[in-house]
Amino acid sequence: MNHSEHTLPRKSGLATTALHAGRRMTEERENSPALFLNSSFVFTSAAQAQAIFAGSEEGNLYSRFTNPSVMAFEERIAALEGGEKALATASGMAAITTIFLTFLAAGDHLVMSRSVFGSTTTIANTLLAKLGIKTTQVALSDLDAWRQAITPTTRMLYLETPANPTLELADLQQLAQLAETHRLLLVVDNVFCTPCLQRPLELGAHLVVHSATKYLDGQGRVLGGAIIGSQKLLMDHVYPFIRNTGPSLSPFNAWVLFKGLETLPVRIEKQCDNAEQVAQFFNQRLSSGQLVHYPGLPRHPQHALAARQMRRFGAIVCVDLGSLAAAHRFIDQLQLATITANLGDVRTLVTHPATTTHGRLSPEMRAAAGVTDGLVRLSIGMEDIQDILADLDQALARVAS
Ligand SMILES: *Cc1c(COP(=O)(O)O)cnc(C)c1O
């Protein structure tokens, strides 16, 4: 295949990287990426087929293994995260499951934050437990709890920061030190931040995992996932797992995500601008017994850590309105924000975690994850800020009345 690959000037900024990394051009000289919507690739001879199968010659073979559209997305997300290599998967959960099944075996122990995505906790407690892999869940920000949970069979530390939906943080540098001392793999789900706001690999994490379904697409179109890290971890370990078990990303979704990444830096900037104003609004407007969670507010308990570890504070704002009735009433009064379980969209979205994303957890587990009945999660979009604030204002007024 006569591909010319585009080379990016070294040390480009994030916006340039998002626009240029992973670009390739066929002999048709298209200026926007072609979509390779095909399952297999043609060999020029039986001998070439043999060589590519044996790995002595490079080349595409079958889209469960590699596909140019998928590789373009992988190169772009790897460049943005500052990783040597990325491998894409069909969804965020496929990426997380791939990491667990690649790096953990029967008898191994996993230490995981208790504030992780609901399905991540579910696969630890069901699939991993069934395979003889034990999990201990700890409070995200309690470094001593992480340290005490480590046993001689521990292999991996796994977390998200900031956590969903409490927006509590973990100190990634401290956890990286702990991982190094005990020779553990540190895995960070970077969905809430994206590489525009936080780069875990630079702080000592070994693997970053993404649900590309959220901010990376940003427009609510496709599912996707990615795993980013060193060439060695990805190609020696993760790649054989994906190649043989097939949680591979669809070329079409990869093509959508590749274009989605081009606007990620501008989207994130605008969404952070809006979220900061929404947090300020709630900070001034909420009455006693109500609370706003946002790492950008000086009274967030980990504001200093957030300022150090994150470039900006993200576009998720959570409010505790005091009761389930108040939360549901507020959500039902919103006109601009749509009620959906997704996040990271260009449009403002609203969710009631206690009765949706965290509804299957026991009340004790919900309490441990900080999900109170009154909590409302807002994923702030790119609408004009005065329209977002007007919508929140009228809904809040009706909760009070
Ligand atoms: C959505 C999400 C996931 C799962 O991703 P899917 O693409 O839905 O499979 C994992 N982690 C976080 C933080 C998420 O928000």
Handedness of CA 341, 342, 347, 351 (dihedral sign): positive
pLDDT tier, 277 (very low <50, low <70, confident <90, very high otherwise): very high
Please identify, by atom number, the ligand 1 atom nearest to the C-alpha of residue 120. 10
What pLDDT is attached to residue 9? 66
- Does residue 1 have a pLDDT over 70? no
- Does residue 166 have a pLDDT over 70? yes
Q: What is the pLDDT of residues 57-81, one digit of tens each?
A: 999 999 999 999 999 999 999 999 9
Q: How far is the CA of 323 from the centre of ligand 1 (A)?
A: 27
pLDDT tier, 262 (very low <50, low <70, confident <90, very high otherwise): very high
Q: What is the pLDDT of residues 227-257, one digit of tens each?
A: 999 999 999 999 999 999 999 999 999 999 9
Q: Is 214 in the pocket of ligand 1 (CB under 6 A)?
A: yes
Here the tokens at position 155 are: 């292999």
Q: What is the pLDDT of residues 290-331, one digit of tens each?
A: 899 999 999 999 999 999 999 999 999 999 999 999 999 999
Q: Is 95 in the pocket of ligand 1 (CB under 6 A)?
A: no
- Does residue 2 have a pLDDT over 90? no
- Does residue 22 have a pLDDT over 70? yes
Q: Is 115 in the pocket of ligand 1 (CB under 6 A)?
A: no
- Does residue 259 have a pLDDT over 60? yes
What pLDDT is attached to residue 287? 83
C-alpha span between 245 and 129 (Å, rounded): 20
- Does residue 56 have a pLDDT over 70? yes
- Does residue 401 have a pLDDT over 80? no
C-alpha span between 275 and 98 (Å, rounded): 33
Count of other CB atoms within 10 angstroms of residue 194: 27
Q: Is 210 in the pocket of ligand 1 (CB under 6 A)?
A: no
255-280 b/e with 16+ CB inside 10 Å = b?
A: bbbbbbbebbbebbbbbbebbbebbb
Mean pLDDT for all residues in the chain = 95
Pick from 118, 92, 113, 96: nearest CA to 361:
118
Q: What pTM was computed for the model?
A: 0.95
Mutate to test the pocket of ligand 1, among 77, 89, 91, 93 (most ligand atoms within 8 A of CB): 93
- Does residue 391 have a pLDDT over 60? yes
Q: Is 217 in the pocket of ligand 1 (CB under 6 A)?
A: no
Q: Is 160 in the pocket of ligand 1 (CB under 6 A)?
A: yes
What pLDDT is attached to residue 311? 97
120 membership: H or E segment, kind and range: helix 118-123
C-alpha span between 87 and 85 (Å, rounded): 7
